[in-house]
Amino acid sequence: MKKIDEYQGKKVLVMGFGISGINAAHLLVKLGANVTANDKATPKNNDIVDDLEADGIRVITGDNPISLANEGFDVVVKNPGIPYDNPLVAAFVKQGTPIITEAELGWQIFDGHLISVTGSNGKTTTTTLTQLMIAENAKHQVKYAGNIGISFSKIAEDLEPDDTLVTELSSFQLLGAPTIHPHIAIITNIFSNHLDYHKTRENYINAKLNITRNQTKDDFLVINWDRDEWQKIAQRSQATIVPFSRLNKSHEGSYVEDGMIYWRGQEVMPTKDIRLIGPQNVENALAAIAAAKLSGVTNDAIKKVLTTFSGVRHRLQYVMEYQERLFYNDSKSTDIEATEVALQGFDRPVILLAGGLDRGYTFERLVPYFKKHVKAMIVFGECKDKMKDAGNQAGVPVVESENAITAVPEAWKLSEPGDVILLSPANASWDQFPSFEVRGDKFIEAVEELTGKKEQ
């Protein structure tokens, strides 16, 4: 951990009691700050408040009182999910108070080799693959943290200058990370996500590009080269560009040609040997390979990881096989693009479980994928009627259900040996579940109850 003194004696407000917020509050105390922690909700677990107060932290819960904006805070550390139009946050913006996220705080104390990953889809899988590949050859610690569910600042506290940290960073985190400077930055792809938060696609892109804002020609930006738009976005970085591509050959990076993965013209391994299914996971592998090779990782280490790693939970996760049906949990597919690529990964008939929060869009884009890959659909949630319309356009039988749990036995009734039963909702979970993780866990529990088996 790097020793810094910029918070010594400063008044800091931490907004949000998530894992990252709680860790940030305790870290700021260590750094000499006078800390107030605030959460709009009242924690059900009193131990959280007791623990904060025991560290000398002032705690305010049950509201974001606007009066806090008049207390002269030097810095606000904001939970990434709290929007900037929150009245208290907006008041701090208006008066010019610096607002950062815990990722920025983690970067400020980190004293090692930083690799950061962002993108609309594939961030967690790419982060995990990169960490595993580098760890195979490493003589020092290689950890991951960030949006993957592990506090950046907490991990950074325990790392030394020779250690490596691979961080998954969301657009929300990057908005509040003005000085972050990874040596290797990865952009997996950019679609139109979180526009309810960012308001415009350009705002969203700009937030993603904060990952490379402070890079120089001595750093590397690993970026998906499969769309012209992404190639143009790369030109806005000062870093050395390292493309990865499933569709376009580029000797400057990693790519696929005739079923073989190459790194700068040298063979690495066949795509068919990657254990993860689907074209999106070939892209994730290519991104991770580029970062790993830039870090000096051998082909043998890369092959070992890609031939054994079976997936991150909720991201096209193989659950089990039962009576010749394969169950997959892809609850992280919270947008249309993710479900498109999930469906393309299967050459078996798919019983698709889909639906969720209604964000106002329709699903005509999925019709060709339904026609080609889907045998039947179980739809649920706020947008089930819109999802049903798309299924009807594709000529696919559609059954309505209450949620992702009740959909499991309905899917089983429609299935036959050789089928895939896939939860890939194409929508956020918040209409019925607090997170995509909870939705995926409940789906797995329903599969286990149906089959009498535990996930594999």
Report whether pLDDT(265) > 90. Answer: yes
User: What's the Cα-to-Cα distance from 259 to each of 44, 106, 284, 311, 343, rounded to whole Å?
Assistant: 53, 40, 16, 21, 20
The pLDDT assigned to 142 comes to 97
pLDDT-derived band of residue 43, with 50, 70 and 90 as boundaries? confident
Range 18-43 average pLDDT: 95
Could you read off the pLDDT of 167-200 as tens digits, one per residue? 999 999 999 999 999 999 999 999 876 777 778 9
* Residue percentage of the chain with pLDDT more than 70: 100
Nearest CA to 84 out of 68, 72, 101 is that of 101
User: What's the Cα-to-Cα distance from 129 to each of 144, 178, 282, 408, 447, rounded to whole Å?
Assistant: 10, 26, 11, 30, 27
**What is the residue type of 251?**
H
Model-wide pTM > 0.95? no
The pLDDT assigned to 341 comes to 85
Report the distance separating Cα 350 and Cα 225, nearest Å: 30
Report the distance separating Cα 149 and Cα 124, nearest Å: 10
The pLDDT assigned to 337 comes to 87
What the chain holds in terms of domains, given with CATH numbers, is 11-100 (3.40.50.720), 103-308 (3.40.1190.10), 317-451 (3.90.190.20)
The pLDDT assigned to 307 comes to 96
Report whether pLDDT(92) > 90. Answer: yes
The pLDDT assigned to 315 comes to 86
Instruction: For residue 225, give every residue at least 6 positions away whose Cβ sits within 8 Å of its Cβ, in sequence order, or none.
Output: 231, 243, 244, 245, 248, 250, 253, 255
Range 362-381 average pLDDT: 97
Please give the mean pLDDT across all residues of the chain. Answer: 95
The pLDDT assigned to 170 comes to 95
With 0-12 CB in 10 A as exposed, 13-18 as middle and 19+ as buried, what is 417?
exposed
Could you read off the pLDDT of 398-418 as tens digits, one per residue? 999 999 999 999 999 999 999
**What is the residue type of 56?**
G
